[in-house]
Amino acid sequence: MTAPILLTPGPLTTSLATKQSMLRDWGSWDADFNRITARVRERLLGVVHATGTHECVPMQGSGTFSVEAALGTLVPRGGHVLVPQNGAYCQRIARICRILGRSLTTVDYAEDAAVQAADVDRALAANPAITHVALVHCETSAGILNPLAAIAEVVARHRRSLIIDAMSSFGALEIDARTMPFEAVIAASGKCLEGPPGMGFVIARREALQRAEGNSHSLALDLHDQWVYMQKTTQWRYTPPTHVVAAFDSAIEQYLAEGGRSARGGRYADNCRTLIEGMARLGLKSFLPPAIQAPIIVTFHAPVTPNYQFKAFYDAVKARGYLLYPGKLTTLETFRVGCMGQLGPRGIQGAVDAVAEVLAELHAAA
- C-beta atoms surrounding 361 within 10 Å: 14
Pick the CATH number of 17-257 from 1.10.10.10, 2.60.120.260, 3.40.640.10, 1.10.3720.10: 3.40.640.10
Query: What is the full per-residue pLDDT of the chain (366 aa) written as tens digits?
Result: 588 999 998 899 999 999 999 999 999 999 999 999 999 999 999 999 999 999 999 999 999 999 999 999 999 999 999 999 999 999 999 999 999 999 999 999 999 999 999 999 999 999 999 999 999 999 999 999 999 999 999 999 999 999 999 999 999 999 999 999 999 999 999 999 999 999 999 999 999 999 999 999 999 999 999 999 999 999 999 999 999 999 999 999 999 999 999 999 999 999 999 999 999 999 999 999 999 999 999 999 999 888 889 999 999 999 999 999 988 777 789 999 999 999 987 889 999 999 999 999 887 665
Q: What is the DSSP string of 288-356?
A: S-GGGB-TTEEEEEPPSSTT--HHHHHHHHHHTTEE-EE---SSS-EEEEE--S---TTHHHHHHHHHH
Q: Which CATH superfamily is domain 5-9+261-365 in?
A: Aspartate Aminotransferase, domain 1 (3.90.1150.10)
Global pTM value: 0.96
**What are the residue boundaries of the structural domains of the chain, listed by start?**
5-9+261-365, 17-257
